């Protein structure tokens, strides 16, 4: 783990996103709420938030940081669902790993809930699309 004790707390923000691609019929079942395992988006949102809050349990070098806010939302298209996670903290390190973990876990839960219906599921790419705060953001 990197020693961050010398760093000052600054407002940190990150946003990540990832995709789940499936057939139009599967995406329509998600939209209509007719997936046998339940409400795919509600479960994915809850599990993604939970995973983001526990990111340090998954990554050996990740600091256990106090999240001030984390949320997930979805953009549902014809053959894909985009998962978007955002987080903020007032602390010494950024929240990129937390939002990446949130998106990844949400996508894995969606995959698990949909796999009994089809073999045509794909996850990715997953990426950080924005981050603010710390030395890379002099305005913070």
Three-class DSSP category at 52: helix
Nearest to 100 by CA among 114, 80, 84: 84
Q: What is the mean pLDDT of residues 92-107?
A: 97
Residue 138 inside a domain? The answer is: no
Q: At 134, is the pLDDT very low, low, confident or very high (cuts 50, 70, 90)? A: confident
| Residues 10 and 134 sit within 8 Å (Cβ to Cβ) | yes
- The structure's pTM equals 0.94
Count up the domains in the chain and report the number: 1
Q: Is residue 3 part of a domain?
A: no
Does the residue 140 lie in any domain?
A: no
In a domain, 5, yes or no: no
Q: Tell me the CATH number at 125.
A: 3.30.70.640
pLDDT at position 53 over 90? yes
Q: Which tokens in the block code for residue 100? A: 């990446």
* Residue 4 placed within a domain: no
Q: Looking at the domain assignment, is residue 42 inside a domain? A: yes
- Domain for residue 137, yes or no? no
Mean pLDDT, the chain, rounded, equals: 95
Which one of 3, 39, 68, 112 is the catalytic residue? 112
Asked, for residue 1, whether it belongs to a domain, the answer is no
Element (H, E) at 103: helix 96-114
Q: Which range marks the domain in which residue 20 is found?
A: 10-132
**Residue 3 annotated among the catalytic residues of the structure:** no
Answer whether residue 136 shows pLDDT above 80: no
pLDDT tens digits along 58-88:
899 999 999 999 999 999 999 999 999 999 9
* % of the chain surpassing 70 pLDDT: 96
């Amino acid at each position: 783990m990197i020693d961050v004790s010398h760093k000052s707390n600054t407002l940190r923000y990150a946003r990540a996103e990832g995709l789940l691609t499936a057939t139009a019929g599967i995406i329509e079942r998600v939209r209509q709420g007719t997936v046998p395992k339940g409400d795919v988006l509600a479960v994915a949102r809850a599990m993604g938030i939970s995973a983001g809050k526990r990111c340090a349990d998954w990554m050996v070098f990740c600091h256990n940081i106090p999240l001030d806010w984390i949320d997930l939302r979805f953009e549902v298209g014809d053959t894909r669902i985009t998962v978007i996670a955002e987080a903020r903290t007032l602390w010494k390190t950024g929240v990129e790993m937390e939002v990446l973990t949130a998106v990844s876990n949400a996508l894995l839960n969606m995959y698990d809930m949909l796999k009994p219906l089809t073999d045509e599921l794909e996850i990715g790419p997953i990426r950080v699309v924005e981050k603010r705060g710390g030395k890379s953001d002099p305005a913070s």
